[in-house]
Amino acid sequence: MIAKAARKASAFDSSLLVRAVGDAFLKLDPRKLARNPVIFVTEIVTVLVTILAVRDLFSGGPLWFSGQIALWLWFTVLFATFAEAVAEGRGKAQADALRRTRTQGQAKRLSDPKNRGRFEKIGSNALKVGDVIIVEANDVIPSDGDIIEGVASVNESAITGESAPVIREAGGDRSAVTGGTQVLSDWIVVRITAAPGETFIDRMIALVEGAKRQKTPNEIALDVLLAGLTLIFVLVVVTIVGLASYAGAHVSVTTLVALFITLIPTTIGGLLSAIGIAGMDRLVRFNVIATSGRAVEAAGDVDTLLLDKTGTITFGNRMADELVAVAGVPPRDLAEAALLSSLADLTPEGRSIVEFVNSKAGIKNPDLGGKKVDFVAFTAQTRISGADIDGVPYRKGAVDSVLAAIGATAPPDFAAAVERIARTGGTPLAVAKGKQLLGVIHLKDIVKPDIKERFAALRAMGIKTVMVTGDNKITAAAIASEAGVDEFIAQATPEDKLSYIRKAQEGGRLVGMCGDGTNDAPALAQADVGIALQSGTQAAREAANMVDLDSTPTKLIEVVEIGKQMLMTRGALTTFSIANDVAKYFAIIPVLFVSTYPELKALNVMGLNQDTAIISAVIFNALIIIALIPLALRGVKYRPLGAAAVLRNNLLIYGLGGIIAPFIGIKLVDLFVNLFV
Amino acid sequence: MTFVGWIQIVTFFALVAVTAPPVGIFMGRVFMGERTFLHPVLEPIERGFYWLAGVDSNKGQDWRAYVVAMLMFSVVGFLSLYALLRFQAGLPLNPSGFGQVSPDMAFNTAISFLTNTNWQSYSGESTMSHLSQMAGLTVHNFLSAATGIALAIALTRAFARSQMRELGNFWVDLTRCTLYILLPLSIVIALALILLGLPQTLLPWVKVTTLEGIQQTLSMGPVASQIAIKQLGTNGGGFFNANSAHPFESPNAWTNLIEMWALLVIGFGLTFTFGRMVGDKRQGYVLAAVMAVLLVSGSIAAYVAESSGNPIVTAAGVDPSLGNMEGKEVRFGTALSSTFAAITTGTSCGAVNSMHDSFTPLGGMVPLFLIELGEVLPGGVGSGLYGILVFAIIAVFVAGLMVGRTPEYLGKKIGAREMKLAVLAILILPVSILGLTAIAAVLDAGKAGPLNTGPHGFSEILYAFSSATGNNGSAFAGLTASTPFYNVMLAIAMLLGRFAYIVPMMAIAGSIATKIKTPIAAGTFPTDNSLFVGLVIGVILITGGLQFFPALALGPIAEHFMMMAGHLSP
């Protein structure tokens, strides 16, 4: 339902922008703005200056000045609300798309779960938790639930955007179905697990729309700091009245307000919520739904990642990697035998052997037309598969089974090869033609090509990777060292995972993990960041604080990066905002006291026109918000470096840059303003 | 500026740099309960105190209990000192027969010594009996210093511990600090000062015939013992009104050097104590570096400004080669007078060996600004450490998000609660300094104080409230502060600057202590390198600068540009 189009829409899509402009005005409502202390205070003093400007209009005061200031202060507030509206825009569009397709259909409720034939039709809104329904081919599943009987292919494109149907069946880790998806074939009996209005899609709507958006812990702390700074500047500015009176200087309220607004951190105050919304939005575009902003933020804090071996670190299946011929057997004979014995083998291992021989040995699949071919399928008893071609048996299988079947003993070089393969965590398959032992196929877990670099990057960021696998220690160690993970848990049970997470957390670590099965649920709940795969069970999805709609376990790494990027963006803009203040003092203070102490014009280091300096500072202060909206939405540039390097770079750009930029910016604005004076 | 001047400054700071670490390590041993070479002698006395007071030295206190104990102790200390000053006329050891101290003066003085400020609204040699000086003021010089150090140690423990509530025991920390650290060091320093010529006597005065043949009465008393702790405990309250500029408080260059050394050694030493106690020495070095960089820069700035002299005076025909010598003692010279001004305000000591009021505008702005930076360079004993830790927390929070993690300092995550309390603490500076200065600048009672008009007069008021809030105690001497208005207002500033800061700071300690200590990894915000030194310096300068720039512009900055333009104050 997150239509691909909506997902890809740019934040600066013109229709979204038009809508954002309208929303920006609606957000001026002080009751809504009160959530944002800095901008709320800005609005209050803006109203004050507006009243003063109106007074000047009738009393013949300096309207040109107070009117200008009032106008630009309104822009400051509007730019801040606009930033938030733009950030929310895409989420709103997605929520609309989701709503349009939300089903208002009928459900077939069974009065007796055992009897599929007798059902009553009720509105899907009337379904309660625990009701049992039947869903047949072409029915839309009315609500979230667990399959208790049957198997069906389901089109989940409404949620995942993937059009290929998936198989859902009772029992196991693929029993969850989601309301709004459609059964394409067969039938299933489903027990409802969500009350109306609390289904997965309802929650998705609420989340992408930001309706339930709560401030994250860091956002709250930052808000406190910004409110504190605002309070400090209230004191600074208000006391100027008293301090200046000692020197006999009179300072106008409008000027003081201008100084105040330029000093308080309006830049970060105006962009703070936009950054948070954009962070959630980036996840949604990434096809990950977080239950809260808190979860996204926690992802940035994670310093230990539990990764399942299969699917994350290695491709799902073992693959042929090497052929070792017995002494005296030409390698080509072995390759041909391996190929022939695997032609009919449709298991991933079998196909990998065919592929390996095709590409590495350069032998094409033979034309078997006209030959008498009998395929022998693999069974758990024989542990051998192969084919009889014109009566010649080609066999491959577990080493001892094959040896027993052909009644041979292992020659020393063959035994050595088998031992070596087993020791490095691979699986040896013996290959025989007739009664002749030809050699061994080395099947191994293939580590994904770029995974080692990614783990190195994670390590540089201070994140420890832990591989979780059901394999034995030897196999696990071999793969762990090949993939470059920091630690591994071999022969892992769900309890092992849970206890590992607990222990890590007691040591002060924050743990992220990915899981799909019901038995993963406790660990997912215990982890600081748990990502459930959309293909997983309802229990796993409930326990996790994020759901990955694409069901690709590597996403955990990207989610961590998005979390970090969100925090970095906040920190960078806060630093920038505070650093900006230095220049503003140099713009405003000389003007403020110049009538009393003309000598203070020496502080006018930017050489501003003293009639327009204050307005220039206010204009700069407003425009910088607009200028930084793209950065707030996109996030600061993220590179997987250690904290020290990241800090140095960002401090240079946003700290030092934040001090220097406004000197240049205010000067430019002042030059521009003076074109019209 | 002279070569000798620079050599003096470098030698002095080198002396501190060499001696502060061992003192800090020693203090660490004392507070971590390890045995030291003083234990055989002092431990029985320590136990005796606990027995007398009924204190269980093994019982830890959480932050609330610790603060309550400290506050109770302070209230009792205040009341007893106030009573002593009010009734000194009828009490023994009053050879000069001084009368009772007026209520507002006694209030101001009691608060002043309680808060380690030692703002002296009175003139010691003509107001205080020997009993008041010894049993009142000198006792508080020890106790206020020990209180500050104890609080800093409690905050240090909060960072060192993981998931704990207890921060130590106030009574134990107070006793150990006084007994093992302040007393022994003071005795050594006092003896050295006596050897170098300071008086230590119970006689009230001596009559001498001067070279001109005139009879003169010279005030005397137990000077050396008070001067030792006055410097060591960053108290600053001199025996005489002229403080360390007085020849009986500091007769020569050697006593000057010792007094300057005593002023910094504990403040810098505590950063090493901190590093040791949190189990990462580099964290302590970083704090010491922040303090040192800013303090030395302040010294240099003051020295440059003072050596440059005053162009108006030079134009009037005065030889500028010695720099601006107005208000300075020839035996100390420009270099060590400027350095003294910087270190006495970088710490919250407030002892002076020259008159800051007579400095050039920028030279005088250095001590003023150093106070307004929050008294953390290295600040008052103890109070400087907990002050700079609050800045470090803010620095970590502002910039820490930039590494993409919830900010943490020493493995402790900094959250909304810590931020709320830290903001509350740093708000005290503008509330008290700017708020009270503005009130004084508006009211007639306030405007009557300054001796000068124009920006310099304004600087005198600003300096007084900065000094009181920072618990410094030094003064731009032009201000007549012995009026009821200033006595009360400045006492309020001193109280705010001390206790309104301590309570939120200790609440931070309580919250930090209960947090889990996360292990340091490559993703951790690094707080042990030069980058962090620069960051904390930036935060201190920007926070201080942004708050006080308008006020400074109206005072010393305006005065400076007027002086450069050849204008005298209106």
- pLDDT score of A104 more than 80: no
Task: Please state, for a pLDDT cut of 70, what percent of chain A lies above it.
Answer: 96
What is the model's pLDDT at position A161?
66
Q: Which residue has the tokens 């996204």?
A: A296
A19, A87 in Cβ contact below 8 A? no
Dump pLDDT digits (tens) for A298-315.
Answer: 888 898 999 888 777 887
Nearest residue of chain A to residue B431 (CA atoms):
A235
Which amino acid is located at A518 in the chain?
T
Residue B437's Cα: distance from chain center in Å?
20
What is the model's pLDDT at position A2?
43
Q: C-alpha distances in angstroms, A161 versus A155, A247, A549? A: 10, 70, 8
Residues 6 or more apart whose Cβ sits within 8 Å of residue B115: B144, B471, B494, B495, B497, B498, B499
Cα–Cα dist A266/A39, whole Å = 7
Mean per-residue pLDDT of chain A:
86
Catalytic entry in A223, A308, A516, A670: A308
Q: For chain A, state the CA radius of gyration.
A: 33
- pLDDT score of B371 more than 60: yes
Of A235, A509, A565, the CB nearest to B404: A565
Kindly determine whether residue A585 and residue B430, on different chains, have CB atoms separated by under 8 Å: no
Dump pLDDT digits (tens) for B39-77.
Answer: 999 999 999 999 999 999 999 999 999 999 999 999 999
Task: Please state, for a pLDDT cut of 90, what percent of chain A lies above it.
Answer: 36
Does residue B557 belong to the interface with chain A, where contact is any CB pair within 8 Å? Answer: yes
What is the model's pLDDT at position B538?
93
Dump pLDDT digits (tens) for A330-366.
Answer: 999 999 999 998 888 877 788 889 989 998 888 888 8
Dump pLDDT digits (tens) for A29-46.
Answer: 999 899 899 999 999 999
DSSP secondary structure string for all residues of B337-399: HHHHHHHHHHSS----SB-GGGS-HHHHHHHHHHHHTTSTTTTSTTHHHHHHHHHHHHHHHHH
In the sheet that holds A487-489, the strands lie side by side as: A288-290, A546-548, A529-533, A511-515, A304-308, A464-468, A487-489
Residues 6 or more apart whose Cβ sits within 8 Å of residue A350: A342, A344, A385
More confident residue, A469 or B297: B297
For helices B103-114 and B63-86, give the axis angle rounded to 10 degrees. 140
- pLDDT score of A392 more than 70: yes
What is the model's pLDDT at position A6?
45
What is the model's pLDDT at position B294?
97
Kindly determine whether residue A297 and residue B406, on different chains, have CB atoms separated by under 8 Å: yes
Instruction: From B270, B300, B385, select the one nearest B16 (Cα to Cα).
Output: B270
Q: B162 in helix, strand or coil?
A: coil
Q: B1 in helix, strand or coil?
A: coil
Cα–Cα dist B566/B518, whole Å = 59
Q: A167 in helix, strand or coil?
A: strand
- pLDDT score of B7 more than 50: yes
For helices B416-429 and B383-400, give the axis angle rounded to 10 degrees. 120
Query: What pLDDT band is residue A417 in, cutting at 50, 70 and 90?
Result: very high
More confident residue, A453 or B34: B34
Does residue B439 belong to the interface with chain A, where contact is any CB pair within 8 Å? Answer: yes
- pLDDT score of A13 more than 80: no
**Catalytic-residue membership of A308:** yes
DSSP secondary structure string for all residues of B387-442: HHHHHHHHHHHHHHGGGTS--EETTEE--HHHHHHHHHHHHHHIIIIIIHHHHHHH
- Per residue, the 3-state secondary structure of B481-499, as one string, reads CCCHHHHHHHHHHHHHHHH
A301, A217 in Cβ contact below 8 A? no
What is the model's pLDDT at position A456?
86
Q: Sort A612 into a burial class: Cβ within 10 Å, 0-12 / 13-18 / 19+.
A: buried
Dump pLDDT digits (tens) for B553-566.
Answer: 999 999 999 998 88
Nearest residue of chain B to residue A227 (CA atoms):
B423
Region B316-325: mean pLDDT is 84
Region A89-115: mean pLDDT is 77
Mean per-residue pLDDT of chain B:
93
Region B456-462: mean pLDDT is 93
Does residue B562 belong to the interface with chain A, where contact is any CB pair within 8 Å? Answer: yes
Q: A233 to chain B, minimum CA–CA distance in Å?
A: 7
ipTM, 2 decimals? Answer: 0.93
What is the model's pLDDT at position B96?
84
What is the model's pLDDT at position B570?
53
What is the model's pLDDT at position A3?
42
Cα–Cα dist A236/B544, whole Å = 11
Disruptive mutation site among A224, A229, A294, A297 for chain B (greatest number of B CBs within 10 Å)? A224
Dump pLDDT digits (tens) for A140-187.
Answer: 888 888 888 888 888 887 777 666 778 888 877 778 888 888 888 888
What is the model's pLDDT at position A5?
43
Q: Which residue has the tokens 């919830």?
A: B406
Q: Specify the pTM.
A: 0.87
What is the model's pLDDT at position B440?
95
Does residue B541 belong to the interface with chain A, where contact is any CB pair within 8 Å? Answer: no
Nearest residue of chain B to residue A242 (CA atoms):
B438
What is the model's pLDDT at position B453?
83
Cα four-point dihedral sign B404, B408, B414, B419 = negative
Region A240-260: mean pLDDT is 91
- pLDDT score of B319 more than 90: no
B154, B66 in Cβ contact below 8 A? yes
In the sheet that holds A427-433, the strands lie side by side as: A314-325, A436-447, A427-433, A392-398, A384-389, A373-376
